[in-house]
Chain A
Amino acid sequence: MEAIEGVKNLSYALDTFYFLITGALVMWMAAGFAMLEAGLVRAKNTAEILTKNIVLFAIACIMYMVVGYNIMYGDGVNPYIPGLSFFLGGDNDPAAVLQQGTDGWYDGDYYSVMADFFFQMVFVATAMSIVSGAVAERMKLWAFLLFAIAMTGFIYPVQGYWKWGGGFLDAAGFNDFAGSGVVHLCGAAAALAGVLLLGPRKGKYGPNGEIKPIPGANLPLATIGTFILWLGWFGFNGGSELVLSNVGEANAVAKIFVNTNMAAAGGVVAALVTARLLFGKADLTMALNGALAGLVAITAEPLAPSPEAATLVGVVGGILVVFSIITLDKLKIDDPVGAISVHGVVGMWGLLAVAITNAEASFGAQFLGLAVIFGWTFVASLVVWGIIKAVMGIRVSEEEEFEGVDIGECGLEAYPEFTGPKGSGL
């Protein structure tokens, strides 16, 4: 009996450790978003976007602990209405765990509850960080943080409940392995609602419909941010298999890592070639967006396809993202980092691609999930943004926008010159 108990201990510990490590990798994506966004905005707006990124992460963690996790994974009232309870419970009792039989082990408590919370918490933070890039350079910091409270405590958990919490989308056969819909499309929908109420940056669109480029100040930061996101995504998709501790599952996790990587690679090449054909040169920022597009596209189903198919899923994402970015600009929807295109448009492709790569999925169920997630998040976000706008305004003043939100919102500069006591130029 000792040997079996030893194996149960190890299995539980391994799967728990797996959740914790992949969760930590996804946490690291917060650094990726921060660097990517910092690199793609102007120098005078860099400190503010970094502040947004680290604070939204903190808010997401706290709100999810307070109420979000329970809305999403607690017992619901019915498949449409989640339950409402606050704060976390305890963890599994070791003696009770060890008394479970090995048959049906994985239907029981096979890993720590706290590890589950930790893993899910970093996903809501990811969804929230998608919004910060789209509204960059002209939104009031505190308005954004207020929205983050609503998004991470309520809007995201409700649609998450409908799928991963076992609600009606799950019952309808909607597939979303790691969150092309639940995380990425959701974040993009919230971002779109915000951007529509916010308006474009001053000087972005000319009076005769010209689109003026506003180049980012630090492409090395944008690049390292993308690489960090790529690395973190192994945790994002890999951890979403939710189990490691047997041969079949270990193989599955390995396949997920490979597919995730191949999709990113496909996205980079496709976006680069598309940009080269359209613009004549190798646009680094498009290549970076292409990597992310590939990753978002495979996120809905990184297990079922072969690595070759996963590459193609990424390729389609990479091509789509370039056209989406151009189209959004033509529609005068100003998105400084391409977040709505990468996470929203390609998130939709990722959801629909599941019907192609996974025999058990159907276009009908995927469309349902896509429409519900987008519709709920977009409308709920519009309401929240609208309330914040009415109460305190969401856009900085014109002077502050020209001066840069670093000074206006943060009182400091990311790249200071001639500062020091009394402007002494120390």
Chain B
Amino acid sequence: MKMVMAIIKPFKLDDVREALSEIGVQGITVTEVKGFGRQKGHTELYRGAEYVVDFLPKVKIEAVVSDELAEQVIEAVSKAASTGKIGDGKIFVFSVEQAVRIRTGETGDDAL
């Protein structure tokens, strides 16, 4: 099992969520985050004092899928979240050791 974690632009969430649904991903977890990569922030003034708007709002999506599905997920997210402009985000893939469905006790791929 793999966890695919994607950091994307907030307004792309709907598109990514639809794309994931289309390839059969049944559940995702979403968090509002702030961050930056190579996309630089910019400075603003607050009552005359300079401050840096470094951390830009992003959305983090985490989806745990079977090994077979992971490649498709990467492709689906990449397509749906892309604008071609700087700050589109990144995708990371982690190995997942175990998964459990709390209600039924199913484990492994059956829990996904």
- A residues near B, CB below 8 A? 44, 202-203, 212, 402-403, 407, 411-412, 417-423
A407-B53 Cα distance, complex, nearest whole Å: 9
Contact in complex: A411, B52 (CB < 8 Å): no
Stretch at the interface among B23-31, B38-46, B68-76, B103-111: B38-46
> Counting CB contacts under 8 A, is B101 at the interface?
no
A411-B44 Cα distance, complex, nearest whole Å: 5
Cβ 8 A contact of A420, one of B11, B51, B57? B51
A195-B4 Cα distance, complex, nearest whole Å: 41
Contact in complex: B50, A407 (CB < 8 Å): no
- Residues of chain A within 8 A (CB-CB) of B10 are 402
> Counting CB contacts under 8 A, is B34 at the interface?
yes
Describe B's contact surface by its main secondary structure.
strand
> Counting CB contacts under 8 A, is B54 at the interface?
yes
Cβ 8 A contact of A418, one of B11, B34, B45, B49? B34
Contact in complex: B55, A423 (CB < 8 Å): yes
A419-B43 Cα distance, complex, nearest whole Å: 11
> Counting CB contacts under 8 A, is B9 at the interface?
yes
- Residues of chain B within 8 A (CB-CB) of A203 are 11, 14
A-B contact pairs, 16 of them (CB 8 A): A202-B11, A203-B11, A203-B14, A411-B45, A412-B46, A417-B34, A418-B54, A421-B49, A421-B50, A421-B51, A421-B52, A422-B54, A423-B51, A423-B52, A423-B53, A423-B55
- B residues near A, CB below 8 A? 9-11, 14, 34, 41, 44-46, 49-57
- Residues of chain B within 8 A (CB-CB) of A403 are 56
Contact in complex: A422, B52 (CB < 8 Å): yes
Contact in complex: A419, B51 (CB < 8 Å): yes
Contact in complex: A402, B51 (CB < 8 Å): no
Among B14, B51, B57, chain A packs the most CB atoms within 10 A around the CB of: B51
- Residues of chain A within 8 A (CB-CB) of B54 are 418, 422-423
Output the nearest chain B residue to A422 by Cβ-Cβ distance.
B52
Quote the shortest CB–CB distance from A208 to chain B (angstroms): 13
Output the nearest chain B residue to A404 by Cβ-Cβ distance.
B57
- Residues of chain B within 8 A (CB-CB) of A418 are 34, 54-55
A203-B56 Cα distance, complex, nearest whole Å: 20
Output the nearest chain A residue to B85 by Cβ-Cβ distance.
A399
Q: Say yes or no: A402-B9 contact (C-beta < 8 A), given A411-B45, A417-B34, A423-B41.
A: yes
A411-B43 Cα distance, complex, nearest whole Å: 9
Output the nearest chain A residue to B10 by Cβ-Cβ distance.
A402
A412-B41 Cα distance, complex, nearest whole Å: 13
Contact in complex: B44, A407 (CB < 8 Å): yes
- Residues of chain A within 8 A (CB-CB) of B53 are 407, 419, 423
A412-B55 Cα distance, complex, nearest whole Å: 13
A412-B50 Cα distance, complex, nearest whole Å: 11
Contact in complex: A411, B55 (CB < 8 Å): no
- Residues of chain A within 8 A (CB-CB) of B51 are 419-423
A265-B13 Cα distance, complex, nearest whole Å: 40
- Residues of chain A within 8 A (CB-CB) of B11 are 202-203, 402
- Residues of chain A within 8 A (CB-CB) of B52 are 421-423
A417-B56 Cα distance, complex, nearest whole Å: 10
A418-B46 Cα distance, complex, nearest whole Å: 14
Output the nearest chain A residue to B50 by Cβ-Cβ distance.
A421
A411-B45 Cα distance, complex, nearest whole Å: 6
- Residues of chain A within 8 A (CB-CB) of B50 are 421
- Residues of chain B within 8 A (CB-CB) of A412 are 44, 46
Quote the shortest CB–CB distance from A41 to chain B (angstroms): 16
A44-B32 Cα distance, complex, nearest whole Å: 13
Quote the shortest CB–CB distance from B102 to chain A (angstroms): 29
- Residues of chain B within 8 A (CB-CB) of A417 are 34, 55
Quote the shortest CB–CB distance from B112 to chain A (angstroms): 29
A146-B54 Cα distance, complex, nearest whole Å: 32
Not counting A411-B46, A422-B51, a sample of 12 additional A-B residue pairs whose C-beta atoms are within 8 angstroms of each other reads: A202-B11, A203-B14, A402-B10, A407-B53, A411-B45, A412-B44, A417-B55, A419-B46, A419-B51, A421-B51, A422-B54, A423-B41
Quote the shortest CB–CB distance from A12 to chain B (angstroms): 45
Output the nearest chain A residue to B46 by Cβ-Cβ distance.
A412
Quote the shortest CB–CB distance from A396 to chain B (angstroms): 14
Quote the shortest CB–CB distance from B41 to chain A (angstroms): 7
A378-B56 Cα distance, complex, nearest whole Å: 40
Quote the shortest CB–CB distance from A340 to chain B (angstroms): 25
- Residues of chain A within 8 A (CB-CB) of B46 are 411-412, 419
Quote the shortest CB–CB distance from A375 to chain B (angstroms): 38
A417-B53 Cα distance, complex, nearest whole Å: 10
A403-B44 Cα distance, complex, nearest whole Å: 14
A383-B53 Cα distance, complex, nearest whole Å: 38
- Residues of chain B within 8 A (CB-CB) of A212 are 14
Quote the shortest CB–CB distance from A204 to chain B (angstroms): 12
